[in-house]
Amino acid sequence: MIYLDYSATTPVDKLVLEDYIDFSRSNFANSNSLHKLGKEALIDLTNTTKNIKEKLNLLTHELIYTSGATEANNLALKGVAYKNRSKGNHIITSPFEHSSITTTLNYLAKQGFIIDVLDFDDYGRIDLEELDSLITDETILVSIGIVNSEVGLSQDLNAIRSVLNNYPNVLLHSDMTQAIGKIELDFSLADLISFSAHKLYGFKGIGGLFVRKGIKLTPIIHGGKSVSQYRGGTPPTNLIHSLGKTIEVALTDFEKKLNKIKELNLYLVSQLQRIDNIVVNSSQYSIDQIVNFSYLPLASNKLQKYLSDKNIYVSTTTACSSDKSISKVVKEITGSYEQATTSIRVSLSHLTTKDEIDLLTFALRGLNSENS
């Protein structure tokens, strides 16, 4: 099997898995229970939270655990929108957001919120002057994902923050699901930050929303006493514990892993550029982990199947988009319908080998000879 779909999800790291099993065996208590085992579970949870914040340099923020980034995005957008309804109803976003942002914003639009989608340059970088000009007294939130999951396009968080520094009442949310553990960045520049463990060699079903201290949200899940006033229910202590280990492992030898991925990226792109009929859709603003390309003679789903039949696993659009026949992001950025309907996402990891890339490019070259 050649797995090249690490942006859809990652295998659980061995250390994370072992730690999860050990913890689940030694402490299964409800952290809300008042007996000794319950208190120990609560202490572990508190320490885990502190360690995660320290590792990500986010001591300025509270961490609300969620089931993943979809829930974190829902809580961020609905939580801010409902809490600030009396202050304003205007939200600004980018055209390159994950479906969990766009569908939530569409839902809010039906409830009377006004959503503006920013324009962008030839590379897909959002128009910062337009961002500045769109902000009014009614604007309560700007939500811009720093790394898009389909082409890996990254936005300039520092520049976005600089614009928003002139508007202290406007909150900045960023979906960092494809950024945390993948790029070096001062995440604390955003007021609200969504992320998910399963993109980082952790478990599916756990993630979080960092919220700058002092910011209030309207909860979207109501319930009994829990870790956070924003999310009722018994805390998944073993998943939370494993999230701590996930972040720790992901950031170990971080530079080394990034350097390896950079090398693999350069190698893959140079190989793809030598194959007839292939256009690379990622640009210099894409993160090294994601290479999006189009093999023009074949629709994305057909190429995906051809590769899958050879046990090479890649994505067409994102695993989460409903219409997989066209990449809206590739269409927006390249303007080409042909590229958008033939686009393939390869996502790399420090676990990827050069041999795997060679087998992928060998299979792609094979297509040209089959078609000639």
123 φ, ψ to 5°? Answer: -95, -10
Contact between 192 and ligand PMP (CB under 6 A)? Answer: no
Strand extents, DSSP E, the chain: 2-3, 61-66, 90-93, 114-117, 139-143, 171-175, 192-196, 207-212, 278-280, 290-295, 312-313, 343-347
CB of 49 to ligand PMP, least distance (A): 19
Restricting to residues 318-337, which ones interact with ligand PMP according to CB under 6 A? 318-320
Spatial CA neighbour of 207 closest among 349, 52, 60, 15: 52
Structure tokens given for 283: 């640009």
Restricting to residues 108-147, which ones interact with ligand PMP according to CB under 6 A? 145
Q: Choosing from 37, 220, 320, 359, which is the catalytic residue? A: 320
Decide: helix, strand or coil at residue 235. coil
What is the C-alpha radius of gyration for the chain, rounded to an integer number of angstroms?
A: 21
CB of 208 to ligand PMP, least distance (A): 10
Please report where in the chains the tokens 């700058």 appear, as a residue: 212
Asked if 132 contacts 162 with a C-beta cutoff of 8 angstroms, the reply is: no
List Cα–Cα distances, 343 to 30, 124, 249, 303, 331, in angstroms.
46, 16, 32, 9, 10
User: Is the CB of 285 or the CB of 361 nearer to ligand PMP?
Assistant: 285
Query: How many other CB atoms are found less than 10 A from the CB of residue 114?
Result: 14
User: Is the CB of 200 or the CB of 278 nearer to ligand PMP?
Assistant: 200
In the shown chain, the binding pattern of residues 164 to 183 toward ligand PMP, with x for contact by CB under 6 A and - for none, equals: -----------x-xx-----
Contact between 342 and ligand PMP (CB under 6 A)? Answer: no
Contact between 266 and ligand PMP (CB under 6 A)? Answer: no
Asked if 300 contacts 341 with a C-beta cutoff of 8 angstroms, the reply is: yes
Task: Give the span between the Cα atoms of 145 and 161, in whole angstroms.
Answer: 13
User: Is the CB of 32 or the CB of 283 nearer to ligand PMP?
Assistant: 283
User: Is the CB of 2 or the CB of 290 nearer to ligand PMP?
Assistant: 290
- When binding is defined by CB under 6 A, the residue of 61, 78, 90, 98 that contacts ligand PMP is 98
User: Near ligand PMP by CB under 6 A, which window of 12-20, 291-299, 314-322, 335-343?
Assistant: 314-322
CB of 86 to ligand PMP, least distance (A): 29
Q: Is 320 marked active-site?
A: yes
CB of 166 to ligand PMP, least distance (A): 27
User: Is the CB of 100 or the CB of 246 nearer to ligand PMP?
Assistant: 100
In the complex, residue closest to ligand PMP by CB: 68
Torsion of CA 181, 346, 18, 203, to 10 degrees: 70
Contact between 196 and ligand PMP (CB under 6 A)? Answer: yes
Contact between 207 and ligand PMP (CB under 6 A)? Answer: yes
Asked if 248 contacts 51 with a C-beta cutoff of 8 angstroms, the reply is: yes
Question: Residue 133 carries which side chain, given as an amino acid letter?
Answer: S
Contact between 236 and ligand PMP (CB under 6 A)? Answer: no
- When binding is defined by CB under 6 A, the residue of 10, 23, 61, 68 that contacts ligand PMP is 68
List Cα–Cα distances, 342 to 28, 50, 215, 268, in angstroms.
48, 45, 43, 18
Residues noted as catalytic:
320
Residues near ligand PMP (CB under 6 A) are: 68-70, 98, 100, 145, 149, 175, 177-178, 196, 207, 318-320
